[in-house]
Amino acid sequence: MKRAIQLTAVAGVAALALAACAEAPEESGGSSSAAAAVEGFKPCIVSDQGGFDDKSFNQLSFEGAQKAADEFGVELTSVQSQTETDYQPNMESLVGQSCSPIVSVGFNLAAATEEAAAANPDTEFILVDETVEADNIKPLLYNTAEAAFLAGYLSAGYSEADKVGTFGGAPIATVTIFMDGFKQGVEYYNETKGENVEVVGFEGGDKGSFTGNFMADETAKTTAKNILDQGVDVILPVGGPIYQSAVAAIQDSGRDVALIGADADLFETDPSTQDYVLTSILKGMDISTHEAVSAAAKGEFDATPYIGTLENEGVGLAPLHNFEDKVDPALMEEVTALQEQIISGEVEVTSYLDEQE
């Protein structure tokens, strides 16, 4: 049996620590002791469909922008997208309010951001999770394949069923980068340990289980159930709030299944998951968004893409929290060593971002 129950706590891999937060307000006031910003600084942010209370990438990006706005004593104007048809009018509304910079959250907002940036060359844009080459767009990217590799290795070592699973919201690069890194980590575990842990739900590329959106709906729950029914005991949902549907499917199954979170530390951002979360694959969107907005406030906007990695702590794994006494300390030592091997280049993790680094 690969899983060892220990009574002593094990320190998890914690490259980042992401705090919980309340629902995002539409606007927030500034501080009287704030730093001075350049003329014309008016930070604004537009969400993807998940909204700013998604406990995931929208929420983290909002937190980073809000922190910067508070530090410079200005209001952060925000607008939430309910459907894809909201992206362009939401963007136009912020441009019309003389916002700069405008933070657009998510791959799906790339086209609307590119169009707005081309029509408004004096406005600064910060695009989370996608690359668009323009002098007034700052891309924020995250090589989550590296952290997902660690999660895959950990999951393979933790699994007693020798089956782990994953599914995503859509077959787009910012989703499949998690799934592919996870798969690579499982494969590396098998290679180094002589095991045969199976990955259910993802074959590679765009071949896998996808819900078609980023909503916690019945489709997401059914997708999770179909994976659980194949006997997995660890599951990684990738796509904002779809993790909620995975938790519901785990509860319905009556089985002991561990959940891997994506983007934020779900143990902290959504306490209802605490009995299920083994760890979370972290994207430091709050940190990088804060830094990008702050740079704009200082007149130091730079369109050079930012890429978060294990080395610069832009991605990482959350602590084990309630699972500390359920994971073999030797396995966690291997995960910690593996992180250093990835940083040094001794162990190679591939992703679509390789050519941009």
SS3 269: helix
231 compared with 49, residue with greater pLDDT: 231
Q: Nearest CA to 183 among 144, 151, 226?
A: 151
Q: Give the pLDDT confidence score for residue 53 in this predicted structure.
A: 84
Is the pLDDT score of 14 beyond 70? no
Query: Do 165 and 123 lie in a common domain?
Result: no
pLDDT at 347 over 90: yes
- Whether the bond into 121 is cis, omega within 30 of 0: no
Task: Determine what percent of the chain is predicted with pLDDT higher than 90.
Answer: 82
The answer on 230 and 259 residing in a single domain is yes
How much is the CA Rg of the chain, to the nearest whole Å?
Answer: 20
Same domain, 211 and 190: yes
In a domain, 220, yes or no: yes
326 and 218 together in one domain: yes
119-147 per-position pLDDT tens digit: 999 999 999 999 999 999 999 999 999 99
The beta strand positions in 66-116, using DSSP E, are 77-79, 102-105
Q: Are residues 279 and 153 in the same domain?
A: yes
Question: Quick one: how far is CA 20 from the chain centroid?
Answer: 14
- pLDDT for position 357: 57
Question: Going by C-beta distance under 8 Å and a sequence separation of 6 or more, which residues neighbour residue 50?
Answer: 56, 57, 58, 214, 215, 240, 241
The 10s digit of each residue's pLDDT in 17-37 is 333 333 333 444 444 567 899
Q: Is residue 16 a part of any domain in this protein?
A: no
C-beta separation of 317 from 152 below 8 A: no
Q: What is the pLDDT of residue 354?
A: 87
For residues 163 and 250, membership in a common domain is answered with: yes
Q: Are 178 and 168 in contact (CB under 8 A)?
A: yes
Residue 134 lies in a domain: yes
Verify that 66 and 157 share a domain, yes or no: no
Q: Is 156 left (phi over 0), alpha (psi -120 to 50) or beta?
A: alpha
- Is residue 84 classed as helix, strand or coil in its secondary structure? helix
> 330-355 burial string, b = 16+ CB within 10 Å, else e?
ebbebbeebbeebeeeebebebebee
85: burial class by Cβ within 10 Å (0-12, 13-18, 19+)? exposed
Whole-number pLDDT of residue 55: 79
In a domain, 165, yes or no: yes
Assess if residue 19 is contained within a domain. no
Residue 77 pLDDT > 70, yes or no? yes
- Torsions phi, psi of 259, nearest 5? -110, 135
- Is residue 231 assigned to a domain? yes
Residue 35 maps to a domain: no
Which of 31-40, 114-123, 197-206, 293-302 is least confident?
A: 31-40
Q: Residue 196 burial by CB count (10 A; 0-12/13-18/19+): exposed, middle or buried?
A: exposed
Q: Is the model's pLDDT at 13 over the cut of 90?
A: no
Q: Identify the CA nearest to 320 among candidates 3, 2, 10.
A: 10
Quick one: angle between helices 144-158 and 173-193, nearest 10? Answer: 40
- Predicted local distance difference test score (pLDDT) of residue 33: 64
Query: Is the Cβ–Cβ distance between 64 and 288 less than 8 Å?
Result: yes
DSSP for 49-64 reads TT-TTSSSHHHHHHHH
Is residue 245 within 8 A of residue 220, CB to CB? The reply is yes
Domain membership of residue 324 as a residue range: 144-283+319-349
Tell me the mean pLDDT in the region 50-60.
Answer: 84
Percent of the chain with pLDDT over 70: 90
Residue 65 CB contacts under 8 Å (≥ 6 apart), including other chains: 43, 45, 76, 103, 289, 290, 293
Instruction: Indicate which CATH number applies to the domain containing 137.
Output: 3.40.50.2300
Query: What are the backbone angles phi and psi of residue 327, rounded to the nearest 5°?
Result: -115, 135
Residue in the structure block whose two tokens are 């083994």: 278
Residues 186 and 263 in one domain: yes
What pTM did the predictor assign?
0.85
Residues 187-196: tens digit of each pLDDT:
999 999 999 9
Rounded CA separation 44/95 (Å): 9
Number of domains into which the chain is organized = 2
Kindly report the average pLDDT of the chain as a whole number: 90
**Residues 213 and 127 reside in one and the same domain:** no
Are 217 and 200 part of one and the same domain?
yes
pLDDT exceeds cutoff 90 at 56:
no
Contact 47, 80 (CB under 8 A): yes
One domain for residues 233 and 344: yes
**CA dist 163 → 197, 234, 304 (Å):** 5, 7, 41
Average pLDDT of 186-209?
97
**Which of 52-61, 162-171, 258-267 comes out lowest in average pLDDT?**
52-61
Q: Are residues 150 and 92 in the same domain?
A: no
* pLDDT > 50? residue 97: yes
Residue 269 falls within a domain, yes or no? yes
